[in-house]
């Protein structure tokens, strides 16, 4: 009987020691900036936002059937005005506010190009608040990761200005027009900073 128990004990001890020696899983790396994220563009391709390092970004949650949808015109205007200086607009369609972005990515892309001649980067539709919020917007709206400009997105066309290092440096409410003096001043200030 003892000759069966001893090998069993040895096997058990060796299994326990193996389990304790196995390396623990590393905790998920917390994003350090907007540039830490990978997103799907409107065509479903993965885009590493790190590619925008050195650029000034305006991140906007958009919608096609909103009273503020005509802001696409002003967004395109400022994009054309500043893109040669290292300025990008990243548009993230979202349907959380009055179901004003019900379409598919293909429908959104067609709408934006045919109605507003949008040439700045459009991304796949995401959730920007509540349950299922995309990690990028969790980062943008959380007090832990963006203490100066945290808070839930209130409506379509909320805007976050990001400097060349990927840091959020300003936030503008949805009704603030993209070509307003306040936004233009902050964009120009950020563009004036060295890469």
Measured CA to CA, the distance from residue 99 to residue 82 in angstroms comes to 32
Whether residue 14 has pLDDT greater than 80 = no
| Structural domains in the chain, sorted by start | 30-192 (3.40.30.10)
How would residue 3 be classed by pLDDT, with cut points 50, 70 and 90? low
Look at the block and give the residue holding tokens 């936002």. 49
Measured CA to CA, the distance from residue 11 to residue 51 in angstroms comes to 52
How would residue 195 be classed by pLDDT, with cut points 50, 70 and 90? confident
Structure tokens at 21: 């020696």
| Contact predicate 134/126, CB 8 Å | yes
Q: Which residues are catalytic?
A: 66
Look at the block and give the residue holding tokens 């045919």. 114
Q: Percentage of the chain surpassing pLDDT 70?
A: 85
Whether residue 39 has pLDDT greater than 70 = yes
| Contact predicate 59/160, CB 8 Å | yes
């Amino acid at each position: 009987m003892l000759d069966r128990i001893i090998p069993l004990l040895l096997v058990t001890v060796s299994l326990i020691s193996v389990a304790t020696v196995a390396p623990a899983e590393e905790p998920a790396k917390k994003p350090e900036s907007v540039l830490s994220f990978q997103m799907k563009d409107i065509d479903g391709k993965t885009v590493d936002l790190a590619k925008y390092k050195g650029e000034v970004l305006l991140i906007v949650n958009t919608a096609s059937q909103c009273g503020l949808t005509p802001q696409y015109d002003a967004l395109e205007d400022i994009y054309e005005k500043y893109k040669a200086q290292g300025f990008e607009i990243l548009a993230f369609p979202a349907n959380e506010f009055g179901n004003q972005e019900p379409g598919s990515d293909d429908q959104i892309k067609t709408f934006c190009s045919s109605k507003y001649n949008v040439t700045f980067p459009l991304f796949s539709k995401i959730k920007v608040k509540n349950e299922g919020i995309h990690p990028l917007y969790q980062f943008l709206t959380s007090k832990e990761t963006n203490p100066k400009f945290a808070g839930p997105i209130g409506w379509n066309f909320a805007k976050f200005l990001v400097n060349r290092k990927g840091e959020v440096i300003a936030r503008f409410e949805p009704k603030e027009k993209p070509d307003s003096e306040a936004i233009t001043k902050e964009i120009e200030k950020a563009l004036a900073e060295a890469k």
